Amino acid sequence: METQSILFAFMLTLFAGLSTGIGSAIALFAKRTNTKFLSVSLGFSAGVMIYVSFVEILSEAKESLIMELGVRGGMWATVAAFFGGMLLIAIIDKVVPTHENPHSMQCVEDICPEKLDDRHGLMRMGLMSALAIAIHNFPEGIAAFTAALKDVDVGLAIAVAIAIHNIPEGIAVSVPIYYATGNRKKAFIYSFLSGLSEPLGAIVGYLLLSAFFNNLTFGILFGMVAGIMVFISLDELLPASEKYGEHHLSLYGVIGGMLFMSISLLMFV
C-alpha cells in the first residue's frame, strides 16, 4: 500500500477529528450560536452519511465480500458486518452515561446564570464530555481512515461529514469548561484534544489491520463503517439537527447532503 495513500487517509482523519476546535472557537467567540445554520449543517452531514453508506460503502463491501466468499456467503457477510457496525457503536453509546453523552449537545447560550455557581460541576461536565467524545470518535477515525484507503472520494465525503458533526461536540466540551474556569485557552485546548482520538483510531486501526488488508477485511470493515455511519446519523445527527432548528430545516439539510453526495459520486463515474 502506497505511503502517499496512507498519509492522505491519515490527514483526512486528522482534519475530521480536529474540527472539534472549530466548535470550540464558535462557542468561545460568539455570543450566540447560529442555530439555523447548525441545524441545516447537521442535517446535511446526516444526508451525506446515509446516502454514501447505502449507495457506495455497502455496495463496495458487498462486492469485496462476494469476491472472497461467493454470492451467498458475501451477501450474508455484508449484512452481518453492517449490523455489527451498528452494534459496536450502540454498545459504545450505552457505556457512556446519558447525562455525559456528547449526543446531548448544547448551544453557547445553554449555560444559564444560575448554573455558574457550580464551577466544579461545570468542569466535570466539560471533562466528561471530552472523554465521551473521545470514545465516540475512536471508531469514527477507523471508519474514515479505512474508507479513504479504499476509495479517496468516499473517504473525503465521510471526513467532511464527520467534521461537520464534530463542530457541536466541540461546543459541548468548551462551554462548560470556559464557564468553570473563565479561561478561553484552557477550554479550547480540552475541546481540541478530544478530537485527537479520531486520528488515534486511524493509527491503531492501521497498525492492527495493515497486515490483513485484503478483500475480506476491507469488505467487513466497509460493511461496519456503513453501519456506524447510519447509526450516528439516526441517533445523533438528525435529532440534534431538529433540536437546533425547525423540522423542515433539518429535512432540507438531509436532502441537500444526499444531492451533494450523489452529484459528487457521478462526477467520478
Q: What's the grid cell of residue 149?
A: 484507503
Q: Please answer whether residues 176 and 111 qualify as being in contact, where contact means their C-beta atoms are separated by less than 8 angstroms.
A: yes
Pseudo-torsion of CA 86, 92, 96, 102, nearest 10°? Answer: -60
Looking at mean pLDDT, say which of 36-45, 162-171, 221-230 comes out highest.
221-230
pLDDT band at 187 (very low <50, low <70, confident <90, very high): confident
Q: What is the pLDDT of residues 120-171, one digit of tens each?
A: 666 776 676 677 677 767 777 877 787 787 778 777 877 877 787 777 777 7
117/172: higher pLDDT: 172
82 burial level (CB within 10 Å; 0-12, 13-18, 19+): buried
- Summary mean pLDDT of the chain: 78
190 Cβ contact partners less than 8 Å away, ≥ 6 residues apart: 126, 127, 130, 173, 174, 177
Give the pLDDT confidence score for residue 119 in this predicted structure. 65
Q: What percent of the chain has pLDDT over 90?
A: 11
In whole angstroms, what is the distance from residue 144 CA to residue 160 CA? 10
Q: What is the pLDDT of residue 199?
A: 87
Neighbours of 267 (CB within 10 A): 8
Angle between helices 152-181 and 3-18 (to 10 degrees): 30
Q: What does the pLDDT look like over 45-104, one tens digit per residue?
A: 788 888 888 988 898 889 989 999 999 999 999 999 999 999 988 887 787 654 444 444
Distance CA 162, CA 141 (A): 9
Q: Give 81's contacts (C-beta < 8 A, 6+ positions apart).
A: 61, 65, 219, 220, 221, 222, 223, 224, 226, 227
Q: What is the pLDDT of residue 113?
A: 42
Cα(188)–Cα(49) distance, integer angstroms? 27
Q: How many CA atoms within 13 Å lie on the side-chain side of 180?
A: 19
3-state secondary structure 139-162: HHHHHHHHHHHHCHHHHHHHHHHH
Domain around 86: 3-266
Is residue 114 scored above 50 in pLDDT? no
What is the distance, to the nearest Å, from the Cα of residue 133 to the centroid of all Cα atoms in its chain? 10
pLDDT of residue 112: 43
Q: Taking a C-beta distance cutoff of 8 angstroms, is the pair 194, 130 a contact?
A: yes
- Measured in whole angstroms, the distance separating CA 134 from the mean position of its chain's CA atoms is 11
Domain count, the chain: 1
